[in-house]
Amino acid sequence: MPTRTARSNGAPTPTRPMVGQTLAIARRILTEYVRQRRSLIFWAVFPALMLLLFGLMYRNNASLQASFDTTAAGILIGAALFFSCLGGTVSLIVAERERRTLRRLLVSPLRPAAYFLGLVLALSVIAFCQAVIVYALAYAMGARYHGSVWLGVLIVALSVFAYVGLGFCFGARFAKRAEDVNGPVAAFGVPLLVLAGTFFPVSLLPEFLLKLAFLDPVFHMNQALKGVAGRGAGWVEISTHLHFLVAFAAVALALGIRSYRRLLLEEKRA
Amino acid sequence: MNLVRFERIRKSFAGKLVLDDLSLSVDRGEVYGLLGPNGCGKSTAINVLCNLLDPDAGTVRIAGDAVSGDAKGLVGLCPQDIALYRDLYPGENLRFFAQVYGLSGSAQKRRVSELMELFGLERFGRMPVGSLSGGWQRRVHIAVALVHSPAILVLDEPTSAVDLEARHELWHLIDALKRTGTTILLTTHHLDEAEHLCSRIGIMKNGRIAKEGTVAELLAVVPAQAIALVETATEDAVLRRAEELGWGIRHYADKLGCLLPQQASLRAVVDALRDVDVSAVSVQRVSLEHAYLEVVQSATGATSHSGPVRDNDEASPLIRKEAGR
């Protein structure tokens, strides 16, 4: 068997600071998005239009304020973060494959966790901007944010984590080329959105689907944020959802790292 | 002094032996050219060096120590396909990879500006890499592989898919790197490139080094001082005449190569063949292409030094060149 030992040489021996690698990944992704612009514009316009549409639609059953109070959270989770964080992750992974940079990263000392966290960080910045846009528009329509802002930030952060983890799985398993990006997002992502009651009340779901919805991370993101933002719910009231999201964030991290390793393995075999 | 040593590396894929006790060494500061036909195991050898593949047997050592996962910073890989972030500026690509390799602060700044200067990239400071020409993208591509000051730079066909002018500019660049003492392992299908750049060359065939040496040592493999390329419709007559004159014969695509034991002028060759019906004759000095063919064909056991060369042999740049004329 070949010998396997660590070594050093005359050249500078770089350390592998996880934080530095994470920040490098995040900065690179954000710079690319800013230069491309198109994705950022779509990710701003789409949730804004969806918010107006659903806010006005639900006005039949409630006041304009109440309608937008309820709709804003669902739109942020389902129309904004879903596409930027889940769709965005799948696209980023495919792009990394297509431009062959994955191979370059493969021979580097980049840690899988740093890659995952770098994506989470970059997409969190985008998620924050989307949250500002969605709630600014909702505010303009008379809605108010009723609960703790920090609790809202925590839910959004956990949501980003979960979406990125799912995106890693979908991207690593099902998306080899740019044309493949929409497939897994539509096939697996959209059903999760629908099951989560993103665009309509979960009370419409039959009992067995409601039970199934409890396994859907998007359901817990929605219900937690709707509770906090729409009804002013506190930690205790949304604790079930939070526990699920925290657990799922850990699972997402594990899935992400595993998926990244799988990607690298495939790249090695290529 | 050896910086890199491949020690009897064996690697198989699905029962097919790709590296067969491959042994070679690269000295510190030299440019070592790894040549060979497609499928001879060059890429597999590079993947083993970069720790992308585990060998079935044998060891690759860099500066005496076995290559392992912890030694990723020792090799700077410049893959054949350009692998850069097209929306980022050249300096941003360099900074990104520097950070990935753990360089930060002033060390990172210094290294990035060194490379920007060495590769002449300052003037493209505010241009996305995707908007640069192929040749300039190649420069950034190589610079990125050097950002962490690796012990050895692996250039996998660095001038593929670039125009002639860009190719020569890249040669100058690799020459400049050679002068800075950078150790380079280079693979290429352009034999003139290997002849120009490499201190030593290893020609691979069937997963091992079939012949290794300096350009001069490899040229000595061809039993001739010069080669007369002859186009004729009466091959038998030329073969008979060559035999009378004591010339060896090789087939290079659709031409006969007469191995001249001494340097000879075109007039002398034409005179020697005056009784034979030939449509064109040229005299060439023995080049690395001839030596390469000599080694590759004899290593397969398929050369008949006068036997026909397969038309689809991608390992024969000479043949491609001749056919293209």
pLDDT digits (tens, 9 = 90+) for B138-159: 999 999 999 999 999 999 999 8
- Please give the biggest Cα pair distance in chain A: 73
The residue that leads in pLDDT, A268 or A10, is A268
Is the pLDDT at A239 greater than 50? The verdict is yes
**E strand or H helix at A151:** helix A149-174
Say if A3 falls within a structural domain: no
Contact (CB, 8 A) for A165 and A85: no
Lowest mean pLDDT segment, chosen from A50-54, A260-264, B20-24, B30-34: A260-264
pLDDT bracket for residue A222 (50, 70, 90): very high
Contact (CB, 8 A) for B90 and B115: no
Say if A58 falls within a structural domain: yes
Residues in chain A closer than 8 A to B95 (CB atoms): 24
* DSSP string across A165-182: HHHHHHHHHH-SSGGGSH
Say if A1 falls within a structural domain: no
Once rounded to an integer, what is the mean pLDDT over residues B212-236?
A: 91
CA distance B12 to chain A (A): 13
Say if A98 falls within a structural domain: yes
Give tens-digit pLDDT for A40-56: 999 999 999 999 998 88
Give residue B52's pLDDT: 85
Is the pLDDT at B309 greater than 50? The verdict is no
Residues in chain A closer than 8 A to B83 (CB atoms): 99-101, 103-104
Say if A6 falls within a structural domain: no
Report the share of chain B in percent with pLDDT over 90.
58
Give residue B132's pLDDT: 95
Interchain CB distance below 8 Å, A6 and B71: yes
Lowest mean pLDDT segment, chosen from A131-135, B189-193, B319-323: B319-323
Give residue B310's pLDDT: 32
One-letter amino acid of B221: V
Of B291, B280, B298, nearest in space to B317 by CA:
B291
User: What angle (nearest 5°) sits at the alpha carbon of residue B100, between those of residues B99 and B102?
Assistant: 60
Is the pLDDT at B23 greater than 60? The verdict is yes
Q: Does A10 touch chain B (CB under 8 A)?
A: yes
Give residue B235's pLDDT: 85
Mutate to test the interface with A, among B19, B53, B96, B100 (most CBs of A within 10 A): B100
Interchain CB distance below 8 Å, A5 and B52: no
Interchain CB distance below 8 Å, B84 and A101: yes
Interchain CB distance below 8 Å, A24 and B100: yes
Give tens-digit pLDDT for B102-130: 998 999 999 999 999 999 999 998 999 99
Strands B255-260 and B226-232: antiparallel
Once rounded to an integer, what is the mean pLDDT over residues A117-126?
A: 95
Of A21, A212, A172, nearest in space to B148 by CA:
A21
Indicate the SS3 state at residue B302: coil
Question: Can you name the residues that pair with B324 across neighbouring β-strands?
Answer: none
First to last CA, chain B: 43
Q: What is the mean pLDDT of chain B?
A: 86
Give residue A92's pLDDT: 92
* DSSP string across A10-45: SS------HHHHHHHHHHHHHHHHHHH-HHHHHHHH
Strands (DSSP E) contained in B191-276 are 200-205, 208-213, 226-232, 248-252, 255-260
Q: Does A7 touch chain B (CB under 8 A)?
A: yes
pLDDT bracket for residue B69 (50, 70, 90): low
Give tens-digit pLDDT for A25-41: 999 999 999 999 988 99
Residues in chain A closer than 8 A to B149 (CB atoms): 11-12
Which domain, by its residues, includes A210? 18-269
Mutate to test the interface with A, among B85, B106, B137, B140 (most CBs of A within 10 A): B85
pLDDT bracket for residue A179 (50, 70, 90): confident
Give residue B71's pLDDT: 64
Residues in chain B closer than 8 A to A10 (CB atoms): 63, 151
Sign of CA dihedral B180, B186, B192, B193: negative
DSSP assigned state of B309:
P
Give tens-digit pLDDT for A126-155: 999 999 999 999 999 888 889 999 999 999
Q: What is the pTM of this model?
A: 0.84
pLDDT bracket for residue B302 (50, 70, 90): very low
pLDDT bracket for residue A79 (50, 70, 90): confident
Strand order in the sheet with B152-156: B75-78, B152-156, B183-187, B31-35, B200-205, B208-213
Token look-up 């990035």 returns B112
Of B77, B97, B79, nearest in space to B154 by CA:
B77
pLDDT bracket for residue A78 (50, 70, 90): confident
> Rounded CA gap, B235 and A195, in Å?
79
Is the pLDDT at B243 greater than 70? The verdict is yes
Question: Can you name the residues that pair with B155 across neighbouring β-strands?
Answer: B78, B186
> Rounded CA gap, B5 and A179, in Å?
43
Indicate the SS3 state at residue B243: helix
Is the pLDDT at B21 greater than 70? The verdict is yes
Mutate to test the interface with A, among B99, B106, B110, B148 (most CBs of A within 10 A): B99
One-letter amino acid of B107: A
Report the domain count for chain A. 1
Give residue B317's pLDDT: 35
Say if A12 falls within a structural domain: no
**So what's the ipTM on this one?**
0.85
Say if A7 falls within a structural domain: no
pLDDT bracket for residue A176 (50, 70, 90): confident
Give residue B307's pLDDT: 34
Of B317, B46, B26, nearest in space to B199 by CA:
B26
Say if A220 falls within a structural domain: yes
Q: What residues contact residue B272 under an 8 Å CB cut-off, 6+ apart?
A: B241, B245
Interchain CB distance below 8 Å, B68 and A24: no
Token look-up 């420069």 returns B139
pLDDT bracket for residue B87 (50, 70, 90): very high
CA distance B207 to chain A (A): 18
pLDDT bracket for residue A3 (50, 70, 90): very low
Give residue B322's pLDDT: 34
CA distance B22 to chain A (A): 14
| Among candidates B85, B92, B102 on the partner chain, residue whose Cβ is nearest the Cβ of A101 | B85
Residue ranges of domains in chain B, CATH in brackets = 2-213 (3.40.50.300), 219-324 (3.30.70)
